[in-house]
């Protein structure tokens, strides 16, 4: 089974480099355009079914890429960043750069936030559950942290070794099988309109 991982388009808080975690922030105009640009690619692939986070920026992205019948899955929400919610990355780094870097590496937890292990456990459980009823192309519209957690759990890539996932991008993972085929990364950070090497968290 191929898992098509779409990160939502740029949100209003992404645009100002604010951490949002589970805050329910909608898409910016740029985010809407990013999602629109991805629609033809998703149409060509032809997902067999779709699941999404229940947060607004993801639901809006799903609608704009042509998904009308997705199952809303709260367990696909972004990691909870606790007291850092709504704060700019610049401010957090100025206050405690080592804490921010350890969080990005999956080894630290923001005050009042969710531990990376707990986050990765809940996200990977969703994919494993979906894999019990495999189809050719499962579409998962979600968040950047969710995609990084899936890459860690299924490919062994540590969070510190994965660049930020670009807003409005597509990543594809082919799950292995019972005959011993390994999980494989087929595509990462694909955006049909332009490359983005400076994606915000």
Question: What positions carry a catalytic annotation?
Answer: 8, 78
**Token pair in block for residue 187:** 């595509």
End-to-end CA distance of the chain: 28
Exposed/middle/buried for residue 102 (C-beta within 10 Å: 0-12, 13-18, 19+): middle
Give DSSP secondary structure letters for 174-189.
Answer: E---TTSPPPEEEEEE
Cβ atoms of residues 140 and 3 within 8 Å: yes
Cβ atoms of residues 72 and 144 within 8 Å: no
Which of 27, 20, 25 shows the shortest CA–CA distance to 79? 20
Other CB atoms within a 10 A radius of the CB of residue 129 amount to 12
* Residue in this structure with the two tokens 């062994």, named with its chain if needed: 156
């Amino acid at each position: 089974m191929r898992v098509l991982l779409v990160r939502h388009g740029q949100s209003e808080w992404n645009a100002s480099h604010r951490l949002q975690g589970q805050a329910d922030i909608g898409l910016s105009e740029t985010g809407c355009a990013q999602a629109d640009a991805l629609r033809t690619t998703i149409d060509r692939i032809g997902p067999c079914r779709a699941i999404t986070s229940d947060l607004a920026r993801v639901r809006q992205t799903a609608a704009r890429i042509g998904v009308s019948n997705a199952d809303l899955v709260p367990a696909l929400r972004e990691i909870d960043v606790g007291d850092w919610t709504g704060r700019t990355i610049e401010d957090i780094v100025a206050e405690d750069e080592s804490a921010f870097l350890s969080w990005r590496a999956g080894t630290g937890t923001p005050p009042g936030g969710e531990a990376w292990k707990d986050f990765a456990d809940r996200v990977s459980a969703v994919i494993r559950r979906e894999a019990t009823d495999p189809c050719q192309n499962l579409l998962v519209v979600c968040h950047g942290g969710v995609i990084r957690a899936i890459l860690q759990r299924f490919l062994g890539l540590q969070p510190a070794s994965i660049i930020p996932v670009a807003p409005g991008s597509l990543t594809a993972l082919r799950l292995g099988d019972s005959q011993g085929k390994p999980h494989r990364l087929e595509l990462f950070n694909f955006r049909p309109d332009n490359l983005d090497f400076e994606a915000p968290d």
